Amino acid sequence: MCTVVSLVSIVRMKALTFVGIVVALSNAKTPCQPRDFGHGSVVCLCTADYCDTLEPLGPIPNNKFYHLVSSQDGERFEVSYGEIGNHSLDLPDVVIRINKTETFQKILGFGGAFTDSTALNLAVLSKDLQRQILKAYYGKNGLEYNLGRTNMGSCDFSSRLYSYDDVEGDVSLDHFALVEEDNLKIRYIKEAQKLNPDIKLFASPWTAPKWMKTNNQFFGQGSLRTEFYPAWATYFVKFLEEYEKLGVQFWAVTAQNEPLDGILPNFSFNCMGWTPGQQRDWIKNNLGPTLASSKFNQTKIIILDDQRPLIVIWARAVLRDPDAAKYISGIGLHWYGDIYPPTILEQAHKEFPEYFLLGTEACIGSNPLEEAVLLGSWNRAERYASDIIQDLNHWVTGWTDWNLVLDLEGGPNWAGNTVDAPIIVDNVTDRAYKQPMYYALGHFSKFIPRDSVRIGFESEDSKGLHVLAVQRPDNVTVLVILNQNDVSISVAIQDSQNKRIEVSVGQHSLHTIAY
């Protein structure tokens, strides 16, 4: 049962423990309303008339640095300003030396997915709470997301199975039509676009209509029948046309969500199998030319949209063919295989540097040995943050979460493949809970705008800290530091301009520092 945690003990608008001079300041118009469900930390309650916010990063006072903290102890987006140049630490635990002249990839952005489940969950909430949630993600006083993904046709995070043309043999797609789920998603996508007009949207298909597939099913082991390769490419154009009619345009499409799934025997939810060679040939002969000859010839194509271990094999098979490669812009990655070393990302970038790498899906809770939804799990926030830092430190340009909103069971999901999400809603009481994962994402998305550039740093002994450094387009330097240790660590940050910042990084905490 939920217990209310004292605002005094959890939301303490206090000076953070810096080594040096600190000015305490809360940027939040409204603080977190903490609730403890017994899973290690707290969630923040949002209702129709109350939800915590954080204003955009404004001008930083001269000789000051901005410091944002979230922690297992209950801090959520707590802000302070410290003084640059203080030298109180003779022997800090960790020294991080920033090298702004060493530059890497540009950052594309951060976001989440407008799935059918997200739309269905939002639709049963009050209008005011719907607006609170969309502002929490895409608004200036929220996470300032600038990416959005949606499913093309049904996926597991739908309440039913469907395609846009279930009329068998309709190769001309005369019966192609969007469904009610699309109308719902479009409503919320357009609301998000009002909050941030610069959202880059991309769409991913899980499966073609059953009649186009070798197994005549939406799921299970099956692939696209070769005689329907042209029709399936036209299906993409039809999708883009119908969404455009309703006011939504897409920056990119992925060629297939998790193409390996449909090769696996008895796969239990929406899928369609492709080998790298099959995807290459279909893009080269069908999808690429079909998009190029349509009004959507600027829509980017992203390949793979699957796990990290596949990236080099897939990229070599597809991108070494110049007739396929000319239609492709990037490689999409899901995080479920990220136990595989990130050096493979370095290899993919080295071999194919002109193609961006983008995290296109991530979630926690699908393991049948753990609960789908854990309200207040700080461990899940740390897993998100560490993966984002690892990805971006190995040439990935951005990170897209999975469902924006799920219910208390982690659904709806027609296949029972329930998972967790950064915002969980109780549609009976008209309440929403911001998970620690939500704040972990915000430490990146809020402060690393599009076209920021990753920069170099070194540390002789990081004590297990995870560190990311970027230079923003406005010339502000941002560091994100994650401490997964059970002890606090004193840190000195030194850059090539002889600016020195000293902070204490508490146990199990996440920090964003800007100067």
pTM of the complete model = 0.94
> Pairing relation of β-strands 477-483 and 466-471?
antiparallel
**pLDDT value for 89:** 76
The band of 496, judged by pLDDT with boundaries at 50, 70 and 90, is confident
Once rounded to an integer, what is the mean pLDDT over residues 242-269?
A: 98
**Residue 422: half-sphere exposure toward Cβ, Cα within 13 Å:** 26
Phi, psi of 239 (to 5 degrees): -60, -50
30 and 128, same structural domain? no
Q: Report residue 118's pLDDT band, with 50, 70 and 90 as the boundaries.
A: very high
Residue the block writes with tokens 């943050």: 385
Q: What is the dihedral of CA 455, 141, 404, 114, to 10 degrees?
A: -90
Q: What is the mean pLDDT of residues 424-433?
A: 98
Model pLDDT for residues 373-383, shown as the tens digit of each residue: 999 999 999 99
Q: What does the pLDDT average to over 131-150?
A: 98
pLDDT of residue 17: 34
Domain CATH code at residue 133: 3.20.20.80
Whether 35 and 59 map to the same domain: the answer is: yes
Boundary (domain end) residue, out of 407, 425, 443: 425
Residues serving a catalytic function are 258, 361
pLDDT tens sequence across 24-49: 344 445 899 999 999 999 999 999 99
Same domain assignment for residues 244 and 324: yes
DSSP letter (8 states) at residue 107: P
Rounded-to-integer distance, Cα 366 and Cα 85, Å: 46
Q: What element of type H or E holds 35? A: strand 34-36
**Same domain (yes/no): 20, 150:** no
The structure tokens 């990311």 sit at 468
Number of domains in the chain: 2
Task: Quote the distance between the C-alpha of residue 303 and its chain's center.
Answer: 18
Residues 153 and 235 in one domain: yes
14 and 157 co-located in one domain: no
The pLDDT score that the predictor gives to residue 333 is 98
Residues 116 and 10 in one domain: no
> Is the separation of the CB atoms in 346 and 318 below 8 Å?
no
- The CATH number of residue 499's host domain is 2.60.40.1180
Residue 78 lies in a domain: yes
Is 108 or 8 the better-scoring residue by pLDDT?
108
Q: What is the average pLDDT score of the chain?
A: 94
Residue-wise pLDDT for 329-372, tens only, equals 999 999 999 999 999 999 999 999 999 999 999 999 998 889 99
pLDDT tens string 269-291: 999 999 999 999 999 999 999 99
The whole domain housing 489 covers 3-95+453-514
The answer as to whether 351 is a domain residue is no
Q: Are residues 87 and 124 in the same domain?
A: no
Measured in residues, the chain has a length of 515
